[in-house]
Amino acid sequence: MLNLALKKWRAKEASLGVWSNLPDIHMAEMLSRMDVDWICFDLQHGLMDYSDLTRLLPAITGVDTTPLVRVAANQPDQIGKALDVGAQGVIVPMVNTAEDARRAVSACRYPPMGTRSCGPMRDAMLEGMNYLATANGQVACLVMIETEEGLRNLEEIAAVEGVDGLFVGPMDLCYGLGLAPGSFTDPAFVSAIADILKACETNNLASGMFGYNAEMAANSIKNGFDFASIGTDISFIRAGATQALQTAKGDDAENAPTARGGY
């Protein structure tokens, strides 16, 4: 099992992906075949649950797009089940301390590096038990920095062995800093981003940003992030339908809604 997205991140190559909130097998198939590096299925805020993963992940098997799952919480059972069903990495929310980070890493790694229980259902079916020999080096463990506590403990979190990258949820980071949602140009937010990028560089970690649209993703990569999402399946549908309706009505382009910039 070669994790192509993780390979790019380790080489510090820019990487773009998409975010999936809808439990639609056909949408997942289409998005994974659009030359993106990764697709993340969201169990924290998406409209899907674990049973949906048993259909969505097989739908993108055989393509180069790396399947990731944002788990609902930093719990070993949730992380293990996401990996067992075929995810090649997890994004773990609300990691506020080094101990939180160690718990996430441990759930991602088989002994002696961690405490992941052995039961790689889909991977064993596809690769046989050879999966066990490579999984510890190919499963990506990405932890989210999105609170004031997480920022206070940033250096300790980034130094935890086995963490592959830090991932930013920008809206929650705004909340964590006591800012209004979308305050991406506020000095406190900009300073926090700089600290996160520095921690990643110091510890040779990948840095990721949840991008709400293509402009935000491009700005994130330009400003030093290694990977970012270009939007969500829901946002793609909304934007396409909005544009189609405006075109059909003959609305002027200047009246079209503009994409949010910044981080």
The 10s digit of each residue's pLDDT in 219-237 is 999 999 999 999 999 999 9
Reported for 218-221, long-range contacts at CB under 8 A and 24+ positions apart, including other chains, are 219/261, 219/262, 219/263, 220/263, 221/14, 221/16
26 is an active site residue: no
- Predicted confidence at residue 259, as pLDDT, reads 47
Tell whether the model's pLDDT for residue 71 goes beyond 80: yes
- The 10s digit of each residue's pLDDT in 28-65 is 999 999 999 999 999 999 999 999 999 999 999 989 99
CA-CA-CA-CA torsion sign (47, 93, 149, 147): negative
CATH fit for domain 4-255, picks 3.40.50.300, 3.50.50.60, 3.20.20.60, 3.90.220.20: 3.20.20.60
Task: Quote the CA–CA distance of 262 and 110 in Å, as a whole number.
Answer: 39
- The 10s digit of each residue's pLDDT in 5-28 is 999 999 999 999 999 999 999 999
Task: Quote the CA–CA distance of 121 and 85 in Å, as a whole number.
Answer: 6
Catalytic residue among 33, 45, 152, 238: 45
Q: At residue 179, what is the residue type? A: L
**Spans of all domains in the chain:** 4-255
The answer to whether 98 touches 70, Cβ cutoff 8 Å, is no
Regarding pTM above 0.85, the answer is: yes
Tell whether the model's pLDDT for residue 257 goes beyond 60: no
Structure tokens at 40: 């993340």
- Predicted confidence at residue 125, as pLDDT, reads 62
The answer to whether 40 touches 20, Cβ cutoff 8 Å, is yes
